[in-house]
Amino acid sequence: GTPEHTVLLASEDTFRNMIDSSSSSSGMCPSWTEKKTCQQLLQNALDTLLIMDGLLLRGTPLSDPDQEFYDAVGGTPAVQSKHDHLKRCMQTQVEEGKLTPSERQKLLKQVSERIDHLNDELQAALSQSREKKAHVLKLQLEKAKTRQSAMEAHPARSPLEL
């Protein structure tokens, strides 16, 4: 089957083993970008499953192909578990600096934009005397700056080093 098929139909334990072993180049998704693509696939499946859950909760039976899909992937909890595990692995990969040059550049740009946005929001909150919102924004800003510093501290790696 296709990689998408493998991701969706693998048991949760098999999926975890595939992702966790991806720290070696023989793994399923060694790069952050590959993990991000896999996460998007899982998110799309989750969106579909949540619609199906809504139908089932209203007592509407699923079509035969939809029911087969639902049963094959293990339902919403199984796909959510895979999605959550993958997200944690991606966070760890960023924290450990296991990023290619293009991934590092992309993520540094994103966090820089986030810092700019938070600074703008913080200034607006302070000018409107919204202390509680300003406090929350300061915490988010600290977290973003810490993330930026951590990424800058790690040099980019060759895809073969992931």
What angle, rounded to 10 degrees, do the helices at 64-73 and 32-57 form? Answer: 130
Specify whether the CB–CB gap between 57 and 123 falls below 8 A. no
Amino acid at 158: S
pTM above 0.85, yes or no: no
Specify whether the CB–CB gap between 162 and 100 falls below 8 A. yes
The predicted-structure confidence for 60-115, as pLDDT tens digits, reads as follows: 999 999 999 999 999 999 999 999 999 999 999 998 889 999 999 999 999 999 99
DSSP summary character for residue 105: H
The predicted-structure confidence for 18-76, as pLDDT tens digits, reads as follows: 888 755 555 678 899 999 999 999 999 999 999 999 999 999 999 999 999 999 999 99
The predicted-structure confidence for 149-158, as pLDDT tens digits, reads as follows: 988 988 888 8
For the four alpha carbons of 102, 104, 107 and 113, in that order, the dihedral sign comes to negative
Instruction: Report how far residue 98's alpha carbon sits from residue 104's, in angstroms, rounded to the nearest whole number.
Output: 9
Instruction: Report how far residue 43's alpha carbon sits from residue 56's, in angstroms, rounded to the nearest whole number.
Output: 20
